Structures are given as C-alpha cells and as structure tokens.
C-alpha cells in the first residue's frame, strides 16, 4: 500500500528495485566434459561492469582466462569509458583437462548498478555443476539460489 502510494516522484530510484540476485540472475551449465557456460540474465534497467566480472573454478583449473564479450561502452563521468553488460551474457569456461563425472564449482564475482541510480556491492556467487560423461547430453542449467527473499514477495 505504502509502496504504491508513497513511491512519489522524489524516490530517487523509483518505487521498486530488484534484489541483486534477481537483477543479475546467475546460472551455470556444463556443456560437455570440459566446457562450462556461465550466464547472467541481467534485468532491464540494470547493468554489470565488465572489469568487475571475474570467474574461477574449483577444484579444476581453467585452460585459459575466459574471454569476456566486449560489452557496451559507457562514457562515465567519473570512470571514463567503461564496458558494461546488459541483457543476456554468456561466458564459456574451458577446463584445462576434461573432468567427466566430477563436480566443479564456478565462482563468479560481479558488480553492477541500476539505471534508477543505485549500485549494488560486489557479490560472489558459487554454483556447483557435475561435468557430463563423454557423449552425454548436457544437464539443465543450474541457477544460483537467492540468499535473501524479496521484501515484496
């Protein structure tokens, strides 16, 4: 009630925001015995900073640093030209060695903001996937479990 009525035009960031886990929904899918795809589904009106995005895996090691898409260049008053991501982001993580049947934990560190004028602190999310056996189809993507429930739900 108050959220709807009291939102007012003075609320700098609008009447409603998403929890960071929902604004930047992280999921992971093992595509084959040595390839993982990490994805962020970024809600409309939100963006992630490219240079604040880092992936690592355990206990396996990556074949190389993952190639992040170039993103969209934002001309920032303070930071100059910075690359940001909006919408869907997918990053392939190639393991140094095939690891069929083993559990691999993907760790993603990210930081983003809302166009409404607020920024979220850097967040670290972990998702564990089981690498498929050779020739087997990939398992369904696994989404990060939100650690907090929205006050609105």
Partner 1 sequence: MTTRQVRWALLCAVAGFVALAAGIYAGIDGRDSLTVDMRGKDAAALLGVSLPDTKGKETPLAQWKGKVVVVNFWATWCVPCREEMPEFVVTQRELGGRGVQFVGIAIDQPDKIDAFAAELNLNYPALVGGFGAIELSKTLGNRYGALPFTVIVDRAGRVAHTQLGRLKEPQLRTILTHLL
Query: Where do contacts with partner 1 occur on this chain (CB under 8 A)?
Result: 1-8, 10-17, 19-20, 52, 76-79, 111, 113-114, 116-122, 151
Smallest distance, partner 1 to C-beta of residue 149, A: 11
Nearer to partner 1, 107 or 130 (CB): 107
Smallest distance, partner 1 to C-beta of residue 68, A: 18
* Tokens found for residue 63: 């074949």
Smallest distance, partner 1 to C-beta of residue 10, A: 4
- Cα separation, 34 vs 97, whole angstroms: 6
CA angle (26, 30, 35) in 5-degree steps: 110
- Cα separation, 13 vs 26, whole angstroms: 23
Smallest distance, partner 1 to C-beta of residue 82, A: 10
Q: Is the CA virtual torsion 61, 127, 68, 35 positive or negative?
A: positive
* H helix or E strand, kind and range, residue 36: strand 35-42
Nearer to partner 1, 72 or 128 (CB): 72
Nearer to partner 1, 59 or 152 (CB): 152
């Amino acid at each position: 009630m108050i959220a709807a009525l009291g939102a007012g035009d003075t609320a700098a960031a609008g009447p409603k925001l998403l929890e960071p886990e929902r604004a930047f929904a992280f999921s992971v899918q093992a595509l084959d015995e040595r390839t993982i795809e990490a994805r962020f589904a970024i809600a409309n009106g939100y963006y992630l900073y490219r240079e604040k995005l880092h992936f690592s895996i355990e206990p396996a090691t990556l074949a190389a640093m993952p190639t992040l898409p170039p993103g969209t260049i934002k001309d920032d008053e303070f930071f100059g030209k910075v690359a940001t991501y909006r919408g869907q982001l997918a990053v392939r993580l190639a393991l140094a060695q095939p690891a069929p049947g083993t559990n691999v934990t993907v760790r993603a560190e990210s930081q983003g903001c809302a166009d409404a004028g607020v920024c979220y602190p850097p967040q670290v999310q972990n998702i564990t996937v089981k690498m498929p056996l050779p020739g087997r189809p990939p398992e369904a993507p696994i989404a990060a479990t939100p650690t907090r429930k929205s006050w609105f739900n």
